[in-house]
Amino acid sequence: MKTRYYFLTLIVLILFSCTEKKLEPISPSLGKPGTIEILSQEAIGGGVIVTYKIPNSEDILCVKAEYTLSGGRTFESTASYFENTLTICGFNDTNEHEAEIYVVNRAQVKSDPVTLKFTPLEASYLKTAKSMQIIQDFGGAQFSWLNPDKAPLTFEFFAQDSVGKLQAMRVINSSADTMKLSLRGYQPDPPRWFAAVIRDYWDNVTDTIYPQDKISPLLELKIDKTAMKVMKLGNDASFTNWEGMDQYIIDDNKDTFGHSADGSVPAAFTIDMARMVKLSRFVMFNRYFNNSYYSWGNPKTFEVYVCFTTPSSSGDWSEWTKLMDCIEVKPSGEAGTTMTDEDLAAALAGFEFEVDLDLPAVRYIRFVITSTWENTSFTHPDELDFYGVYEDGQ
């Protein structure tokens, strides 16, 4: 009997607990809020920045703009109570447009709208498209562009396949103001089309961007290291410590490495490529140590120099021209030595650095390792590969 009583009580409690609850704002409304006072507006690429004064009310939550883009899609832009500017963006033309701006209180009640009329400047993705250059490069084509607004843009890069169809070969997101990227792996013949498409956050998209004509890629070879040697200039480090050897840096064997002594970083070494080479790029490989390629004394940052004459044995730096500063990038961005699949794939492929197309042919190239992945005072580069073409064409 007692069990039946408890059961009936439980049923009653469940029935009462299942009554419908109405979702309402957590704050009571103090009435419809007043409207903003527009103080100024500034046209920007694809939109406008409006400065305003909010009404004097204690329950204001935000200011919201509602607008329709040229293609018919509606968007909202919101600024908190603590701000006095609102950015309205996403337009792909320079026609006059309108936005309705509301004040919203904590009870989600909107004010009457204030209509803002404005004329955007040219959208960032269109400005970037005008700057896009596609030129002949080693093994393919080089794409370069400017993004002066530093807008977050998506770039798609295309190349013709064997039957002449454009195929998307790479997609990147970038807000950098200046960029270069190359598609490689193509033979000089036959000439082919390379192209690009640019999208912005609002899914505005350019027409396909082509060069003036088909491109015949420059021949690119992996430079033979058989005759190369690591020179021993007077101010270079020795890489013969802890099983390391200087020549192991260019022996085409990923199981060997060069290893400098404690206290040697920054550590320099110089390579004689044996022949004059028009370089296109080089690839740095790291040693696998403690279950990671991003560990211990593996190079992280380094500088690269070239010498256009036979260098002095002293290693006099005045004879050397700085080519670039390099930093190895861990795709995941995670600290420590742990690797994601993407990190592992990047390390196995090697860290690639492109050489400017304007660099004349060189024979002597010098590296200075300035920091390692675990900030050691020594370093142990595993292998370096070089790509380009011999000056004599042989």
Question: Pick from 169, 199, 229: which residue ends a domain?
Answer: 199
- What CATH number is attached to the domain comprising 112? 2.60.40.10
Do 242 and 366 lie in a common domain?
yes
- From 58, 89, 118, the end of a domain falls on 118
**Strand partners of residue 168:** 158
Confidence of residue 45 (pLDDT cuts 50, 70, 90): very high
In a domain, 277, yes or no: yes
Residues 6+ apart with CB under 8 A from 157: 143, 168, 169, 170, 171, 172, 181, 183, 194, 195, 196
Q: Looking at the predicted structure, is the pLDDT value of residue 91 above 90?
A: yes
- End residue of a domain, out of 73, 89, 118: 118
Are 165 and 286 part of one and the same domain?
Answer: no
The pLDDT confidence band at residue 392, using thresholds 50, 70 and 90, is confident
- Structural domains of the chain, count: 3
Q: What would the pLDDT profile of 342-353 be if each residue is shown by its tens digit?
A: 999 999 999 999
Separation CA 189–CA 169 (nearest Å) = 19
Is residue 231 in a domain?
yes
- DSSP class of residue 71 equals T
Mean pLDDT, to the nearest integer, of 16-38? 66
- Evaluate whether residue 213 is within a structural domain: no
Question: Does residue 14 have a pLDDT over 80?
Answer: no
Which residues 6+ apart lie within 8 Å of 17 measured at CB?
none
Within this chain, do residues 103 and 141 fall inside the same structural domain, yes or no? no
Q: 278 near 388, Cβ under 8 Å? A: yes
pLDDT tens per residue across span 154-185? 999 999 998 999 999 999 999 999 999 999 99
Distance CA 72, CA 50 (A): 22
Q: What is the mean pLDDT of the chain?
A: 92
Percent of the chain at pLDDT above 70?
Answer: 92
Residue 141 has pLDDT above 60, yes or no: yes
Same domain, 182 and 310: no
Q: What is the DSSP string of 296-335?
A: TT-EEEEEEEEESSPPPTT--GGG-EEEEEEE---TT--S
Do 236 and 87 belong to one domain?
no
Note whether 284 and 384 are same-domain residues: yes
Q: Say whether both 130 and 170 belong to one domain.
A: yes
Average pLDDT (283-296) is 97
C-alpha triplet 18, 24, 26: angle, nearest 5°: 115
Q: Is residue 11 in some structural domain?
A: no
Stretch 228-245: mean pLDDT, rounded? 96
Say if 369 falls within a structural domain.
yes
3-state helix, strand, coil in the chain (%, to 5): 10, 40, 45
Helix (H) or strand (E) holding 118: strand 114-118
Could you tell me if residue 15 is inside a domain?
A: no
Query: Is residue 6 in a domain?
Result: no
Residue 64 lies in a domain: yes
Parent domain of 139? 124-199
Half-sphere exposure of 387 (CA within 13 A, CB side): 20
The pLDDT-based confidence of 71 (bands split at 50, 70, 90) is confident
* Predicted confidence (pLDDT) per residue in 321-339, tens digit: 999 999 999 999 999 999 9
139, 42: one domain: no
Same domain, 176 and 87: no
Distance (Å, whole) CA 147 – CA 206: 14
- Residue 105 and residue 184 in one domain: no
User: 34: Cβ–Cβ under 8 A, 6 or more apart, which residues?
Assistant: 55, 56, 57, 103, 111
